[in-house]
Copies of this chain bind each other. A is one copy, B any other.
Amino acid sequence: MTILVVGSVALDTVETPFTRKEDILGGAASYFSTAASLYNQVNLVAVVGSDFPQEYLDFWRSRPVNLAGLQMQVGKTFRWTARYHLDMNSRDTLDTQLGVYAGFHAVISDENRQSPLLFLANIQPELQLEVLEQIPNARLTVLDTMELWIMTARAQLTEVIKRVDILLMSEEEVRQYTNQASIVTGVRQLLAMGLKYVIVKQGSYGALLFGADGTYFSAPSYPLEEVIDPTGAGDAFAGGFLGYLSTVQPAPDGRYAIDDIKCGVVHGNIIGSYVCEDFSIGRLRTLTMDDIAARYQALVDCSHFDLSWRNTMGMQFIAPR
């Protein structure tokens, strides 16, 4: 089952409290494609400028990343510059240069329209809508977005949300979009728009899954000794999530079992945690399925506890007055 992703491929300049890296491979679709291609074939739809380094194309060609939908245009590749704070859970965007994305329109080929799984990576909601209109029959559609579009393209973003199955948002984005202080209340409002699931990304705290069917799942995060660069963790999360789902069979009606959805969220957390261990897609280049399995086991070990508690002393409850 192939996965189609539409989003940004970029060259990032990233400053952490410890290091600065210039013009490294970035962009939501880059992280997603590299992550999801660990599991299955990814069809990448994006645009790069004439300055885009050949080595990244060569790398993707060494993986099951289909680049037929990657446009190359004369001009500059999308550039993003950001600086992280000391706790690495927050950052400031210092500069954004759209470059060839300024006039970009996604054209989905007949072959790519057959992908049953679609990830609308973070990009202008208008573009996301164009993509959805070209693929009316995707089996599972997952949407990511960012604060910028909540603030500047709310109406279009709302249209996109109404047409997809699963929405990924950070806690802060849930608050901004719904204007609710409570995540639980905000998510309920989002689910009422027709979504099947909302996944709330919590950075180093893991992720929460809320289902329209009442599902609530809190996926633990892996405690990293050292965070080198958290850029792309959310996109890699999506790659692990959809990558895993691309390997399991949904029910005949197209629905995924809730245990598989949960398992996908755990895979998302795992890939998201690995990404933070190096700049750009550095860690994803060397990641093996054994690494993923090891961290899966670590997350099982650190989050499971007794299904019922012991009461060896004969607990005596004091009734309230």
Contact = CB atoms under 8 A, between A and B. Distances in A.
A238 to B, nearest CB: 17
A42 to B, nearest CB: 11
A223 B183 contact: yes
A311 B247 contact: yes
A313 interface: yes
Interface stretch (A19-27, A107-115, A143-151, A257-265): A257-265
Interface residues of A, number: 74
A248 B313 contact: yes
Contact of A317 (B225, B289, B304, B305): B289
* Interface of A: prevailing SS: loop
| A-B CB proximity, top 8 nearest | A289-B317, A218-B220, A205-B205, A247-B315, A247-B313, A249-B312, A262-B305, A184-B225
Given A220-B218, A223-B208, A318-B38, A248 B288 contact: no
Contacts of A313: 1, 246-249
Contacts of A303: 217-218, 220, 303-305
20 contacts: A1-B313, A39-B317, A40-B316, A64-B318, A87-B181, A182-B225, A185-B225, A185-B226, A205-B205, A216-B301, A220-B220, A220-B303, A246-B313, A262-B306, A263-B305, A263-B310, A266-B309, A285-B320, A303-B303, A304-B304
Contacts of A221: 218
Interface of A: 1, 17, 37-40, 59, 62-64, 86-88, 175, 181-185, 202, 205-206, 208, 216-221, 223-227, 244, 246-249, 259-260, 262-263, 266-267, 285-289, 296, 298, 300-321
A321 B11 CA distance: 22
Contacts of A318: 37-38, 63-64
A185 B182 CA distance: 32
B184 A38 contact: no
A184 B40 CA distance: 33
Contacts of A263: 305-306, 309-310
A86 B172 CA distance: 12
Nearest to A37: B318
A88 B181 CA distance: 9
Contacts of A226: 182, 185
A163 B206 CA distance: 33
Contacts of A220: 218, 220, 303
A224 B86 CA distance: 29
A248 B267 CA distance: 36
The residue in A206, A220, A227 that gathers the most chain B C-beta atoms within 10 A of its C-beta is A220
Nearest to A319: B288
B266 A305 contact: yes
Contact of A287 (B218, B219, B246, B320): B320
